[in-house]
Amino acid sequence: MKLSTRPLSPHMQVYKMPLSAKLSILHRLTGLALSVGAVVLVYWLFSLAYLSGAAVVIHIFFSSIVGKIMLIGWTFSFFYHFCNGIRHLFWDIGKGYEIATVNKSGIIVIIIATVLTAGLWVLGV
């Protein structure tokens, strides 16, 4: 019997993930980013209260390019997770389960989260 060299299951380079799967992964990653951000926020507040020199170091870090990118990423994570949570509330009441609606609402959530993030950083911070 000759052994076949073909893949036995869809290979990652062949399989194209649907938009809903990509957005599900993004939702989980933004939740993780918000959790890490919460730990950093608690550390920052603790250092402000109890460590004299740490506040200066943290201020210098968040004033740097890397710090700004992290803050913008956390801001986008918050807005995306919030907007996608509203989308999930509509799903909980049975609305928007059609594939076209799922894809359209996912794109709308990304656009709204991006606009809110840009608006906050351009106008608010």
Residue range 45-82, pLDDT digits in tens: 888 888 878 888 888 998 999 999 999 999 999 999 99
Section 91-118 average pLDDT: 96
With 90 as the cut, is the pLDDT of residue 123 above it? yes
Model confidence band, residue 11 (pLDDT cutoffs 50, 70, 90): low
Mean pLDDT of 23-46: 94
In the prediction, which pLDDT does 89 show?
A: 97
Looking at residue 8, its pLDDT comes to 67
Mean pLDDT, residues 88-108 taken together: 96
Q: Which helix (H) or strand (E) holds 122?
A: none
Whether the CB-CB separation of 47 and 54 falls below 8 Å is answered with yes
Domain boundaries, the chain: 24-124
Structure tokens at 73: 């990423």
State which CATH number among 3.10.129.10, 1.20.1300.10, 1.10.10.10, 1.50.10.20 fits the domain covering 24-124: 1.20.1300.10
Number of residues that make up the chain = 125
Residue 8 has which token pair? 């036995």
| Residue 15, phi-psi category: left (phi > 0), alpha (psi -120 to 50), beta (remainder) | beta
The single residue listed with the structure tokens 């599900």 is: 24
Q: What is the pTM of this model?
A: 0.83
User: Alpha-carbon distance 106 to 22, whole Å?
Assistant: 10
